[in-house]
Structure 1
């Protein structure tokens, strides 16, 4: 089921381009894709950059409160929502669960309410089926700039997971078994995230 991300006509300070430049250096904005927080509190977005033949991504969340100061990128003023804290997606349990769900279910990115499409066709490669899984209670244990490991409860069972959201998506010939992939208009295939899930020892 393609969810809808509400896009507001708002002024941002700093702008998303300024945030990305501060984090990743001067880059050309290519587009973005979004996921939806089921509770409607957290914005989840992966901003895509393209310089020459190199694609990069900056996956972040926007929320009204601090979630992980160590991986917080900046404070943003939103003309409609007020103060928003911008954090790496790997450090926000809401985003982590949504990335994992989309991959495992074989779901897609959210549709933007303004109709703007991402530059890549986004989909998960899992085969569970959309809206067939229940994912809750993410506990993040080890976090780097692009990888997080921890536990979550999947369909009532506690599982270990490791989610990787690369800053430089890999260009591949064939999609991995459990990945978020993006395909451009020429058919080039990029790996935007991968996940490993295993049983949790009691």
Structure 2
């Protein structure tokens, strides 16, 4: 479950991405265009400490890009090169926003989703002590080989920044497409997504045991 707050972020997540995205080799879109949110999905951090959200965004009339993010209340050790920026949350205070592909909490959550069907986190707003469920903006599902229980992914060994981005851990290799198009990786468990305007599932991630 993801407990959300009706809060103000300064700068906003989209403002942070507008600065960060143009510097990525895998980004395709007009320079200086507005970043718009297409859809998003979240995973749970079992420890409840790290926010995990994957945003689908578009700049101008460019393609849809997938940007996994983690939100932390303190800097990630060794994660300086993955820092997208910091923002002030009107309820939670200062938050460090990271490219989640370099965050071990994201790797573990993604592996659980792709290999064991953990699914996306239900989202709730808490208003005057009452929790209100927010309907998801997209659907996710898994296809291909799966395991009975989430694997212990182990340490994060490396990240290949490209499209797709490849995340290597002790036990699992994860592949995260940045631009979402129809494709297939035989033998890999696959996380797919659908959203308004995209009724046909597109791959969001692949996972294979090492």
TM-score interval for Structure 1 and Structure 2 normalised by the shorter chain: 0.7 to 0.9
Alpha-carbon distance between aligned partners in 2 of 1:30 and 1:163, rounded to the nearest angstrom: 23
- Contact (CA 8 Å) 1:49, 1:57: kept in 2 or not? yes
Q: 1:135 aligns to what? A: 152
Task: Determine if the alignment matches structure 1 residue 86 to structure 2 residue 86.
Answer: no
Alpha-carbon distance between aligned partners in 2 of 1:164 and 1:73, rounded to the nearest angstrom: 20
Q: SS of the residue aligned with 2:206?
A: strand
Alpha-carbon distance between aligned partners in 2 of 1:192 and 1:108, rounded to the nearest angstrom: 13
Q: 2:3 aligns to what? A: 6
Alpha-carbon distance between aligned partners in 2 of 1:58 and 1:75, rounded to the nearest angstrom: 16
- Contact (CA 8 Å) 2:111, 2:151: kept in 1 or not? no
Specify every segment of 5 or more residues in structure 1 that has no aligned partner in the other structure, as ranges: 152-158
Change (3 A) 1:10 1:73: same
Alpha-carbon distance between aligned partners in 2 of 1:17 and 1:86, rounded to the nearest angstrom: 12
> RMSD in angstroms over aligned alpha carbons?
2.4
Task: Determine if the alignment matches structure 1 residue 15 to structure 2 residue 12.
Answer: yes
How do 1:77-156 and structure 2 match up within 5 A? 77-114=88-125, 115-125=133-143, 126-129=145-148, 132-135=149-152, 138-145=154-161, 146-151=165-170
Instruction: Report the TM-score, using the length of structure 2 for normalisation.
Output: 0.77
- Contact (CA 8 Å) 1:183, 1:189: kept in 2 or not? yes
Change (3 A) 1:141 1:128: closer
Name the stretch that deviates more: 118-127 or 16-25: 118-127
Alpha-carbon distance between aligned partners in 2 of 1:175 and 1:106, rounded to the nearest angstrom: 18
Instruction: Report the TM-score, using the length of structure 1 for normalisation.
Output: 0.80
